[in-house]
Amino acid sequence: MDTTWAYGVTRVAVLTGAGISTDSGIPDYRGPSGVWTRSPKLVDAFTYESFMADPRVRATFWQTYLGHAAWGAEPNAAHRALVDLEQSEIAVRILTQNVDRLHQQAGSSPRKVLELHGSIHEVTCTGCHARTPSEQTLARVAAGEGDPRCTDCGAILKLAVVMFGEHLDPTTMGHAERIAAHSGLMLAVGSSLLVEPVASLCAVAVNAGSRLVIVNRDRTPYDHLAAEVIREPIGTALPRICAALSR
């Protein structure tokens, strides 16, 4: 791995996708053993229009998350490497597509982690917009409620994650674009870079003069913009990158 692009970098934006959490036992979505690869029909359960229209889809969604691997997952070497990088003299911001909060669990400062697609640790009401810990709703599902409703207003509940067909919060996306534009280096780690507008943060960084380095098993639509594309396993590649940056 050539890390000459790491020299002189003082500000790093790290865009992380599902691939950074697979070593923690959380399956990705589009890989050979991905959630949607194994069960293509589950895509409907993650589509906002289908979720809102059909109680059977909602029941499938809640059952999928009832025993999800994320609840018992622990941070891995890649998450911990970013914590070590934050503790160096490098200014680090994490822009994550993941909803598992493993970055924060590993020790990354919550204020330096921007959750672009939300978090599974909260549930939001689609009516009154109240937020509650997800454990409360999942306990109701485990007790037999297939389609739990808000106890205040009776509206549909959903995990506080961005589904297909939903727009990202414009304030959050604007913040992410500013971080990308002011980074000296953008690391895109474990993301297919197929989901927009988040993937376009790579172009925002490059257009602002930042270097882009992609760490991912498969090709991405943004490989041609990268100073380097690394195909090594994330659990070994990212610690080496962070060590090079913090010299």
Q: Active-site residues: which are they?
A: 117
Dist. CA 212–CA 187, nearest whole Å: 6
Dist. CA 130–CA 211, nearest whole Å: 40
Dist. CA 160–CA 121, nearest whole Å: 8
- Is there a contact between 149 and 158 (Cβ–Cβ < 8 Å)? no
> What DSSP letter does each residue of 176-229 carry, written as one string?
HHHHHHT-SEEEEES--S-STTGGGHHHHHHHTT-EEEEE-SS--TTGGG-SEE
Q: What is the layout of strands, in order, in the sheet containing 118-125?
A: 131-133, 118-125, 157-161
For residue 19, the tally of other CB atoms under 10 A from its CB is 23
Task: Give the residue carrying structure tokens 């020790």.
Answer: 107
Side-chain-facing half-sphere of 103: CA atoms under 13 Å: 27
b/e sequence 87-114, b meaning 16+ C-beta within 10 Å = eeebbbbbbbbbbbbbbbebebeeebbb
- 41 Cβ neighbours under 8 A, 6+ residues apart: none
Q: Compute CA 130 distance to the chain's CA centroid, rounded to the nearest angstrom.
A: 23
